[in-house]
Structure 1
Amino acid sequence: MGSSCATRSSTPTARTAIWNCCAAGSSTAWCTPRDRRPPRAGWRRCSGGSPSPWPDEVVPGLLEQTILVTADHRAGGRLIGQHLRELGHRRVLAISGPTDLVSSLERIAGFREAFGDAGVTEVEGAFVERSGYHLVAAALEDGGPRRFTAVFAANDLMALGAIAALEDAGLRVPDDVSVAGFDDIMIASRVHPRLTTVHQPAYDVGRTAGAQLLSYVHRDEVPPASRHILPVRLKVRASTAPVRPPR
């Protein structure tokens, strides 16, 4: 029977513990979406040639050795793109997450599939609130609402930062600029205005990944590599509205 190691932290110490755990002979490393990727050699060492469950993030170069459990990020991006399009928006500031994360790329790609490329200004963010704030503040200095009537931030924290930057500039959300996020974190329905976002099934992702992990640990045979793509839902709240004529 194999052993396993797990963490919920993204600190360098926790990540080092994972790789050391793998190097010491642990058969499975279970890393949450917050954990950033080590060098490619580190992935190979952790894999050990057997499928391992990785919740919510594609492992580069290891799809054939990975039990992937993830939300449908591309479909979520399409939901936001369609929603903003239907509201009449034609100029959007799209804030991606780090471009080395497949989930971030998928969210923006899905958004462009539904909204189109015309009228989209894309900038790279860092999945933290201050990133959304600074990027929107910079965009406002470079033309602001004349360049965009909506902001799509590829996670809720950046969306909250975007709202703060817009309000600090004297703009109203959603009267002047609509804002949409992704993830549906707990605070998304409690802020003002309540955030329009994509709900991803974090509990189900964890439960499915955990079931795969236990199956791997307790069975004599190693399960084959597989992909489990879980559906997402659009949560329309108060931060998005139809485009209004300029004041």
Structure 2
Amino acid sequence: MLNTQFMKAMRLKRDIVPSFNSYPFDLPSIRTLDELDFHRNVTFFVGENGMGKSTLLEAAAVAAGFNPEGGSLNFNFSTYDSHSVLEEYITLIKGVIRPTDGFFLRAETFYNLATTIEELDNAPGNSPRIIDGYGGVSLHEQSHGESFWSTFIHRFRGNGIYLLDEPEAALSPLRQLSMLSRIHDLVGEGSQFIIATHSPILLSYPDAKIVEFTDEGAQETTLEETSHYRIMKQFFDDKDRMLHHLLK
């Protein structure tokens, strides 16, 4: 694998934060943030809902030049301006080498991205078609999972920086396993990933850096030490006992 690192770290400008008692600075992932180092290949953000991992990932994406609703670096559209102001308060520490590709993929606004691609391709005189870089089939004419997967397989070209926000939301367990293989191929082609996820399957990628966010802040951990893994293991080791306590 190539030792390419396009994004080395993220630093919060704590001295200009207006208040740590208001959004988004009151989120656990941000309230205790000073500087967060990224792995040269794959970094995962994990934690319960409300910890701020997606907000942090979004800020990194916007600060890097991506559209808040997703897409590549040259995608400029907005269907609803809902992203936070956090990118104005962070500094990205970048590597010397520049990526030749990049994408911000987020499940929450993927429909908006697909709609924008279709509108641009239907505009008079637009050639070549954008959708050809996503597999050639309208993303709206596929299931959500298949359109997500098509984007991941066809649009990610290697030697790139890729930020993914909960990609497992649209993927079956089998597709998540396939995603591990594709991530590995792209890492071998010099790519770097930063992924916010709830999926123990994705978190199993070897040698990745896992940062878990709790009410106490961020801490580097291992797959087996994450609450997500421990809950899933407890469930499958003795699901009847857990269901008994949940449903009694």
Question: Normalization by structure 1: what TM-score?
Answer: 0.30
Question: Normalization by structure 2: what TM-score?
Answer: 0.30
Q: Does 1 or 2 have the higher relative contact order (CA < 8 Å, sep 6+)?
A: 2
The structure that has the greater radius of gyration is 1
